Each structure stands twice: as C-alpha cells, then as structure tokens.
Amino acid sequence: LARPFEASGFSNVSVENVIKPLEIAGGVEQAVSLAYATPIAPKLRDLPQAAQIQFRDGLTECLRQLTEDGTTMGKMASNLLTARKPV
C-alpha cells in the first residue's frame, strides 16, 4: 500500500492496520439492512427474490451469533496511511 506513495515522492510513509469494535445498536435487523447500503447493494437488489431471501436469512443467522444484549458486535478494520509530500 505504501509503495505508490513512496514512488510519487512522499516520505515518512506509514501504514497502520487499525481494528476497532463495531457496535450496531439496532441489532441484527439494522446490521442486515447495512448490507444494502454498501457498494454491493445493486447486485443484491438484482438477485432473484428467492436468492435475496436466502441471503438475508443466512446473514441474519450469522449476525445472531454476534449479538449480545440487542447490540450486534464485531470488529471493523481499516488501513490508515500517513505520509509527507515535500513542497
């Protein structure tokens, strides 16, 4: 991830993988609806109705295993890149 920035003249390039707790207060229903707010949403909506139901049911079952006290728990990971560009 850092190489393109270094090749473009950036210095002090640093990449850190940040993992934070993910809590969805709306529980499983809200977590399932979030799938339809991601870049794959158009593909999900294009699925035949039976496949959409199967997807929702499977995701709901997986998320129930991550739910505690009505809050869906998990982890969210992101790469954080910092660099300096000389002026």
The tens digit of pLDDT for each residue in 10-40 reads 999 999 999 998 888 888 889 899 888 999 9
Task: For residue 17, count CB atoms less than 10 angstroms from its CB and return exposed for 0-12, middle for 13-18, buried for 19 or more.
Answer: exposed
* Distance in angstroms (rounded) separating the CA atoms of residues 27 and 67: 7
What is the Cβ-side half-sphere exposure of residue 51, based on CA atoms within 13 angstroms?
6
Q: Which two tokens stand for residue 19?
A: 């993992």
Query: pLDDT digits over 5-15, tens only?
Result: 999 999 999 99
Tell whether the model's pLDDT for residue 79 goes beyond 90. yes
**The predicted structure's pLDDT at residue 87:** 81
| pTM of the entire predicted model | 0.62
